[in-house]
Amino acid sequence: MKILITGAAGYIGSHTLKQFLETSHEIFVLDNLSKGSKKAIDALQNLRKFSFFEQDLCDFAGVKRLFKEYKFDAVVHFAASIEVFESTQNPLKYYLNNTANTSNLIQTCLENGTNKFIFSSTAAVYGEPQTQSVSETSPLQPINPYGRSKLMSEEVLRDASLANPSFKHCILRYFNVAGACMSYQIGQNYPKATLLTKVAAECAAGKREKMFIFGDDYATKDGTCIRDYIHVDDIASAHLSGLNYLQNAGESNVFNVGYGHGFSVKEVINTMKRVSGVDFSVEMANRRAGDPSVLIADNAKIKSFTEWKPRFDSLEMICKSAYEWELKG
C-alpha cells in the first residue's frame, strides 16, 4: 500500500514511521517541521528511503495536489498541536490546526479514494473520569481545548465513515507516551517539551537546572497526578495493528492505547532519579489548568480486536530509555 504519514517528524510519528519502514509498504511523509525534527527524518532515511514533503496541512491546495499525484491508499495522521496548557491560552490555534486541518484531510481522502485512516487521538477526550480506569464507552467530557479539538476530529471521522461506508477509520486514544526507541537512534526532540518523563530525563542529564511538580493536593495516593505511561514503541506498534485490523475487513473503530495501570508524578521522578543515579532538583508549583487527577486506560478492546501486544511495560525501562537518549543528544 501507499501510506501517507502526517507529522512523522514528531515524537510518536517518527517512532511509528520507523516501524512502518520495516514493512513492505511504500511510505510518504508530510511534516511542516514546526515542532518535528529533520534529524529524525534524515536518520530514518538511512533505514529505508521514503518520500518527504515539507508542507503544512493548512495548505489545502498543496495537500490536494499530493493526493492527486500519489494516490495514497491509507493515511496515518499525527500532525497536530499537542500541549494541554497552551490550548487553554490559545484555543483557536488548536481548533484550526487540529480540527479544521483534520477535516480538510478527511475530505481530501474522500475525494481521492483513500479509504483507510488511522487517527492519533488522546485520552484527554475523557476529561476527568469518574472511574479508576476508562474504556472506550466511558463518557467523553474533555476539560481543555486540546481534548475538545481531538474529540471534534473524532466526530468528523465518524460522520464521514457513516456517510461513506467504504471509508474506514481507526481512532487510537493514547495515554501518556514516554521513553525513546529501543532499537534505533531516535527519541523525543520536541522543543521545550512538557512531557514528564522527557523533562525528568533532561534534568538527570544536566540539560535543565530543575523541574516542577504542578500540584500535590490531588485526591491521589501521594497528592500528585496519576497517569498511564506507555512506551513510545508500544504506541507506535498500535498504528500498525490498527492498519492491519482495517486491512482484514475490520469496521471503523476506536481503541484505547495504554497499559492499564498508572504511576504518580512523584513515582516517575523517583524512578528517573534511581535509574540515572542523579538526585536532580524538584520544586513544587501550583496546579496547571486542564490537568485531571487520574487517567488510566482499560486496554481490553484493542487486545481483543487487534494483534497489538505491548512489549515494554516497565517504568524503569521507559525512564532508562529516555535518560539514555538525552545523554546522546
26 and 149 part of one domain: yes
Dihedral sign from CA coordinates of 254, 259, 261, 267: negative
**In a domain? residue 189:** no
Residues serving a catalytic function are 146
In this prediction, residues 281-303 reach a mean pLDDT of 92
Model pLDDT for residues 193-237, shown as the tens digit of each residue: 788 999 999 999 999 999 999 999 999 999 999 999 999 999 999
Is pLDDT of 191 > 70? no
Amino acid at 100: A
Amino acid at 45: Q
166 and 273 part of one domain: no
**In a domain? residue 148:** yes
Could you give the CA distance from residue 44 to residue 26 in angstroms, rounded to a whole number? 14
In this prediction, residues 85-106 reach a mean pLDDT of 96
The fraction of the chain above a pLDDT of 90, given in percent, is: 88
216 and 280 part of one domain: yes
Domain count, the chain: 2
Distance spanning both ends of the chain, measured CA to CA: 34
In this prediction, residues 138-162 reach a mean pLDDT of 97
**Which CATH number do you get for residue 247?**
3.40.50.720
Closest CA to 192 of 85, 100, 306: 85
**In a domain? residue 133:** yes
Could you give the CA distance from residue 294 to residue 274 in angstroms, rounded to a whole number? 24
215 and 80 part of one domain: no
30 and 172 part of one domain: yes
Out of 241, 257, 273, pick the residue that ends a domain: 257
Model pLDDT for residues 11-33, shown as the tens digit of each residue: 999 999 999 999 999 999 999 99
**In a domain? residue 190:** no
Is pLDDT of 329 > 80? no
106 and 245 part of one domain: yes
Report CA 7 to chain centroid distance, whole Å. 10
Domain that holds residue 319: 196-227+260-328
14 and 43 part of one domain: yes
- 212, β-bridge pairs: 283
Instruction: Give the three-class secondary structure for 225.
Output: coil
How many CA atoms lie within 13 Å of 104's alpha carbon, on the beta-carbon side? 17
Closest CA to 147 of 100, 82, 193, 93: 82
Kindly report the average pLDDT of the chain as a whole number. Answer: 95
Model pLDDT for residues 97-149, shown as the tens digit of each residue: 999 999 999 999 999 999 999 999 999 999 988 887 999 999 999 999 999 99
**In a domain? residue 185:** no
**Which CATH number do you get for residue 218?**
3.90.25.10
Rg over alpha carbons for the chain, rounded to the nearest Å, is: 19
Instruction: Give the three-class secondary structure for 301.
Output: helix
Out of 216, 242, 257, pick the residue that ends a domain: 257
Amino acid at 304: S
The DSSP bridge pattern shows strands 263-264 and 226-227 to be antiparallel
**Positions of E strands within 55-187:** 74-77, 116-122, 168-174, 176-178
Is pLDDT of 321 > 80? yes
